[in-house]
Amino acid sequence: MKPDKSMSDKDTTKTTPNDEPLIAGHNYDGIEEYDNPMPGWWVWLFVASIVWTPIYILGVHQFGFINSYEDDLADKQAELAEWRTAYEDANPSLDVSDESIAAYVGVAEHVEAGSALFTKNCAMCHGPAAEGLIGPNLTDEYWIHGPANSNLFGVITNGVLEKGMTPWGSILSVEERSQLVAFIRSVAGSNPPGGKAPEGEIATITADAG
């Protein structure tokens, strides 16, 4: 506190700057005490915090009428799960499964779209007729990562970086990747010239391989 002139003054009126009086008899070794209480708002804050403490402790730990951080987190996560479900319901194509992809297989429009995507993005590694080049032959019955629609979709989506297969998940939409699977299914057993030797394990491919 800034030394107040009136304290060191010889002036005997002795009041605080707010005109509060001296407390009579509070004089120790020449040090006198002003009646200078804490401001009202401060005292009320202090009292309120004392009153609030038991309410808060009981509310959180005993009766549960005040949410703890864990409760808030659980609420928000439930809200998030609702949003997610609503979003997925509104975008059914996000639910990828053997069945959802099977709906593309054998549908001319999707096979054609897949064929165009394949020529543009995949042919340089898998050959123009999917006969295999740097990447494996996609027309035979051998699969390194499994024969199911979802296996193919998974490899296309996530790639196999260490083997040189590019991940397409962030480049091509779910629909486009499903169309690519439809295209690959359409060339199954086509036995194109110059086909690359089989890699992986043999599996019988059916239109709705699952």
Which residues form the interface with ligand HEC (CB under 6 A)? Answer: 121-122, 124-126, 134-136, 138, 143-145, 152, 155-156, 160, 163-166, 168, 180, 199-200
Q: Which two tokens stand for residue 91?
A: 């975008």
How far CA 134 is from CA of 34, 127, 149, in Å, comes to 92, 8, 22
* CB closer to ligand HEC out of 166 and 190: 166
Report d(CA 93, CA 75) in Å as an integer. 28
Quote the least distance from Cβ 99 to ligand HEC, whole Å. Answer: 18
Task: Closer to ligand HEC by CB, 38 or 124: give it.
Answer: 124
- Please, which residue, 34 or 183, has the CB nearer to ligand HEC? 183
Question: Which helix (H) or strand (E) covers residue 201, if one does?
Answer: strand 201-202
Q: Shortest CA distance to 134 belongs to which of 126, 145, 142, 123?
A: 126
Closer of 59 and 98 to ligand HEC (Cβ) = 98
Residue 103 near residue 181, CB atoms below 8 Å = no
Residues 6+ apart with CB under 8 A from 177: 153, 156, 157, 168, 169
Q: How far is the CB of 135 from ligand HEC (least distance, A)?
A: 3
* Cβ 194 to ligand HEC shortest distance, Å: 17
Both structure tokens of 4 = 């107040």
Question: C-beta of 98: minimal distance to ligand HEC in Å?
Answer: 14
Q: Which two tokens stand for residue 52?
A: 């609030």
Residue 101 or 156 with smaller CB distance to ligand HEC: 156
- Decide: helix, strand or coil at residue 1: coil
Shortest distance (Å) from residue 94 CB to ligand HEC:
19
